[in-house]
Amino acid sequence: MPLGVPKVLEGFIEKEKEEVEKEEDPSWIELYHRLYEKRYLFLGKPLDEDLGNRLVGIMVHLAIKDRTKEQFLFIHCPGGLIIPGIALYDAMHYVPTDINTIVVGFAASMGSLVLTGGHPGKRMAFPNAEVMVHQPASCFEDGFSKYSSQNDEDVARFKELVVDIYMQTTKKTDRVDVWKDLERDEFLSAKETLEYGIIDLILDSDMIPPWMKDQISDESDQITDISINEDGDGGDKPLYYPLLGRMYPIPIKKRHDKSESENDESENDKSENDESESENDESENDKSENDESESENDESYHPFQG
């Protein structure tokens, strides 16, 4: 006797489909796509081949789309594989646009290497961020080429490469010192990271974040006209400028300087207009007095009087 298949009402099936669609919630995917379009990239987990390829592809795509606009890579990464890290580092240096790197929270191992690969003068950290540097322990994923004698040679070669990268991108000039720093886990605060030369700037609450400078005003000339100097006061320096390996964003309190100056100019113009109006009133009064005097003279003299 054949077994019967139980029948299910269509309404229940449609209800299950709706629940599945709600669980998927594609809004998060759309959010990250929107951020990518705005040139905000995120390295928020251990760097693997998949994530490395995705970030390289996005950087190249955005650079082809518009090579004049900067990209911002936010880093909170505990490490990862060295080969994808080197690939991402090279891509950051060879795309024709500036890559800003910002460490948010913690950047260790490959995260630190990617951080130091940002454009000179545009490598940043939040005040409470932390960075850890050390040498790579393996070139491949866990278990892959674990028992291969070639792996040791690859590790030695990549260690030399990592030392070369830190020598090129930091303030360290002694190769032996860099080797010693990388042979153990070296944890650095934001200030120590700045002194080491891995970053160029510690972000402050009184600064306009570089990734927000295009959103201060709809008019781009309103931003580029504002300037500061090393003390944070108005000066003859542009909004963002490299000086001794540092970048100084404009303080928030200076954002409205131009509007205040425009208000002062408008007040000056108003006062000048008031003065000119008062002068016109005085000239009109003088003119009326002259007219009165002429009328009096006309009344005193009549040619037909005897």
Q: Which residues are catalytic?
A: 109, 134
Phi and psi, residue 165, nearest 5°: -65, -45
**Which contacts (CB < 8 Å, 24+ apart) does range 175-182 have?**
181/133, 182/133, 182/134, 182/135
Region at 233 (left for phi over 0; alpha for psi -120 to 50; beta for the rest)? beta
- Output the DSSP codes for 1-22: -PPPPPP--HHHHHHHHHHHHH
Pairs from 32-38 (Cβ < 8 Å, separation ≥ 24): 36/62
Q: Which of 214, 196, 204, 299 is nearest to 253 (CA)?
A: 204
Three-state secondary-structure class, residue 228: strand
Dig out the tokens for 301 from the structure. Answer: 């003299």
Specify whether the CB–CB gap between 157 and 165 falls below 8 A.
no
Q: Which residue has the tokens 């030695």?
A: 156
| C-beta of residue 97 within 8 angstroms of C-beta of residue 70 | yes
CA dihedral 184, 190, 193, 199 (to 10 degrees): 140
Cα separation, 126 vs 124, in Å, equals: 7
